Structure 1
């Protein structure tokens, strides 16, 4: 399948790639300043003296929680609640390094790491690193991994 065909196929099915933005609710608290919670991730919270500080802390909390879930092998909780500033819901973007690691982990589900590594012509140790946020696969490596997983890698600037 050619790239244009893949893009057309995805668009016909309503797939539009977007950054992994989670909606964060910001509320003013007289004792704690600004409190941030995530409707889709009820166990993730952050605080700050200002809204800006609270949102920075929320990003750290989101990244930390998702990294822990990945380390534990939990299924990724995808964002469902849409950011809407009129409702006090602000977008907090998941770090791309965590998103990529999680997506590799989810795509491999049901397959051995060693089998995927062999098909991608890399060592199992190298593959293992890519399923952690510390890994930083090149675009070429992502293409090899996608092929080894029986998937297509689509890169778009939107």
Structure 2
């Protein structure tokens, strides 16, 4: 986050070069950045692109936990080379139900995400941190 030349704060995301956002206040700038990052991630998932690992150094924007879990599930699926159709078969779910797991605007249930992760041989590990 840096001051811009028009009395706003510019927010860039080094891991996602397509993300540039701004706001008149720090809170507004971070809110806009969160939205821009989520939009970029959703687009990358829809286009079946690789999502680079987050660079935690200097992180100002914390993404919603559900977004983070869905992105990690997407990365894990790509890492294994498994298709969504194969994941649906392993879970004995309809393909549409699996596709919703990767839509960042859909409120998937945690147990669904955990089941999908288990079906590809992975699990989550959660770390609790002090609030900023």
- Length-normalised TM-score, structure 1: 0.68
Change (3 A) 1:44 1:117: same
Q: Could you tell me which residue of structure 2 aligns to residue 104 of structure 1?
A: 73
Matching of residue 38 in structure 1 with residue 7 in structure 2: no
Mapping 1:87-98, distance limit 5 Å: 91-98=60-67
Q: Which residues of structure 1 form unaligned runs of 5+?
A: 1-25, 84-89
Higher relative contact order, structure no. (Cα contacts within 8 Å, ≥ 6 residues apart): 1
Change (3 A) 1:28 1:120: same
Change (3 A) 1:92 1:128: same
Q: Could you tell me which residue of structure 1 aligns to residue 99 of structure 2?
A: 128
The answer to which of 116-125 and 27-36 deviates more is 27-36
Q: Could you tell me which residue of structure 2 aligns to residue 27 of structure 1?
A: 2
Larger-gyration structure (1/2)? 1
Q: How far is the alpha carbon of 1:94 from its aligned partner?
A: 2.2
How many angstroms apart in 2 are the aligned matches of 1:140 and 1:40?
Answer: 29
Check conservation: 2:70, 2:104, Cα contact below 8 A. Answer: yes
Higher strand content, 1 or 2: 1
Q: Give the paired residue count.
A: 127
- Length-normalised TM-score, structure 2: 0.79
Check conservation: 1:32, 1:47, Cα contact below 8 A. Answer: no
Q: Which residues of structure 2 form unaligned runs of 5+?
A: none
